[in-house]
Amino acid sequence: MHSENFYLYFFNLLYGYELISLNSNNQNVEAIDLIDDKNKIIFQVSATSTKQKIESTLEKDIFKKHKGYRFKFISISKDATDLRTKSFSNPHSVDFNPNNDIYDIKSILNDILTKSIKNQRKIYEFIKDELGAEIDLVKLDSNLATIINILSLEKWDVSHVDNNSNSFEIERKIQFNELNEAREIIEEFCVYYKKVDEKYTEFDLLGANKSNSVLNSIKKEYRKLKKTGNKDDIFFNTIENIKNKILISNNLNNIPIDEIELCLDILVVDAFIRCKIFENPKYYNYVTTR
């Protein structure tokens, strides 16, 4: 009963229906839980998501009283992808298209994704109020977190240092962008660019353009901050924002925060060298062609 009430208000908000509950006045009306007389829609809300359940509903005589109404089925307990591919006995010729008229969590989430940010916010607030508590943010898989996992396995000592880096060009870019406080961290970690490049190559073997995904994630955070203050603040806030982003990733292994920060420093400095963040001086010849 609680699920019926939840989906009544939820679908009215999500799809603009005008559903009411028939069970509030008439307990357990056969086949019908929710009805929208204006749009001529009948809903059944069920934890039993089977072909037999839907066919037993479609054969009920109550549909004789609601000719021209479309039947829709909400599976509240499990995925209904396979159910949408089946054909159903429909003795009363009720308007019913399994592919469009069977809902589950996955299909509903897909519909939410097509909504504007404003409407998504309304849906979020409704669900938060309905559940009575703040909703935990969904932890997302992240290529950025995966590369952090890879880098965390390395020992970043002098054995990884490449003394052939183009320090002159890096210095030109530091001066061009007036990075005074960030200079120290750039100079410290720019010597690891060759090892990072090797790790990106290793990472790319897992799938096309994975390293580009990581670099674009860093560039995206930089762009958000590009006009927010002085250049040093932008540099350090870029690192901080990326750290906050990856800490909610569910594919980030149990890595100590200081190791995460080390890997992020190395990645952001590498992105700086690769021309992904901050402006380049004229004829800047970065150290890697990636």
Interatomic CA distance for residues 76 and 127, integer angstroms: 15
Assess whether pLDDT exceeds 60 at residue 133.
Answer: no
Quote the DSSP letter at residue 228: S
SS3 214: helix
In the numeric block, which tokens belong to residue 158? 């002098």
* Range 140-148 average pLDDT: 72
Strand blocks (E) in 172-227? none
| Residue 165: predicted pLDDT | 57
Candidate from 91-100, 173-182, 203-212, 225-234 with smallest mean pLDDT = 203-212
Question: Smallest Cα–Cα separation from 73: which of 90, 65, 116?
Answer: 90
Interatomic CA distance for residues 66 and 39, integer angstroms: 12
Assess whether pLDDT exceeds 60 at residue 163.
Answer: no
Phi/psi of residue 174, nearest 5 degrees: -60, -50
In the numeric block, which tokens belong to residue 79? 């995925």
In the numeric block, which tokens belong to residue 206? 């897992």
- Could you tell me if 100 and 74 are in contact, meaning their C-beta atoms sit under 8 angstroms apart? no
In terms of pLDDT, which residue wins out, 133 or 236? 236
| Residue 138: predicted pLDDT | 45
DSSP for 80-104, please give it: -TTGGGS----TT--B--HHHHEE-
Give percent of the chain above pLDDT 70. 88
In the numeric block, which tokens belong to residue 227? 């006009």
- pLDDT tens digits for range 66-88: 899 999 999 998 889 999 999 99
Assess whether pLDDT exceeds 80 at residue 42.
Answer: yes
Assess whether pLDDT exceeds 70 at residue 255.
Answer: yes
| Residue 12: predicted pLDDT | 96
Sheet order of strands, 41-46 included: 20-21, 34-36, 41-46, 70-75, 102-103
In terms of pLDDT, which residue wins out, 234 or 247? 234
* Range 163-169 average pLDDT: 70
Interatomic CA distance for residues 228 and 240, integer angstroms: 14
- pLDDT tens digits for range 183-231: 999 998 888 888 888 888 888 887 767 888 889 889 999 999 988 888 9
Indicate the burial class of 109 (C-beta count within 10 angstroms; 0-12, 13-18, 19 or more).
exposed
Indicate the burial class of 73 (C-beta count within 10 angstroms; 0-12, 13-18, 19 or more).
buried
- Could you tell me if 221 and 246 are in contact, meaning their C-beta atoms sit under 8 angstroms apart? no
Which helix or strand (DSSP H or E) is residue 71 part of?
strand 70-75
* Range 107-117 average pLDDT: 90
Interatomic CA distance for residues 83 and 51, integer angstroms: 7
Interatomic CA distance for residues 222 and 234, integer angstroms: 7
